[in-house]
Amino acid sequence: MIILCPGGFCGMSPKAGATVAAVYMILVTNMYLIFEVGHLEQAVTDMAQIKPFNLTKVGKMLPYCYYTDNTLAVMTYPVCVFLIYSVHKRLYMGMFAYVAWITFYDPANCLVVAVAYQVSKEAWFSLSPLEWFGLATRTPWIASGSPSLSRMP
């Protein structure tokens, strides 16, 4: 692949592109966790105001959706750090781990947010449009950026 694109893409070498992808994911995860912790606090506060007997078992699942989402996000940090380490040491295992994690993480994240949306309708709680916006903007970038990692020298 280096023979086909010796200058890399967008003026970056594949090594720099992989490092930028990892740093980008760390920054996006930081922002995502800041918003999600706020949404979790809001959900818990709003649900505490609703009479507990008015919530069904499905309605009580909303905080667990946020816990799952936050756990998935926190698990992204070691994968990104491993990618940066692998780029530095020229190991391909970090690239494969990152691509596998992102391939799992984004659909799982979309699924958790979709479940949280369905649960929130029953719990009389509305999800922030920011949650959907975050997924809608991050997923296409990651989907187009992850294949570029295969060009790492």
Hey, where are the domains in the chain?
14-146
With tokens 């060009």, the residue in question is 151
Task: Decide if pLDDT at 30 tops 60.
Answer: yes
pLDDT exceeds cutoff 60 at 40: yes
Q: Of residues 8 and 112, which shows the higher confidence score?
A: 112
With cut-offs at 50, 70 and 90, classify the pLDDT of residue 79: very high
pLDDT band at 151 (very low <50, low <70, confident <90, very high): very low
- pLDDT tier at 6 (50, 70, 90 boundaries)? low
The model's pTM is 0.75
- pLDDT over 90 (residue 91): no
> Is residue 134 over pLDDT 80?
no
Residue 9 pLDDT grade (very low, low, confident, very high; cuts 50, 70, 90): low
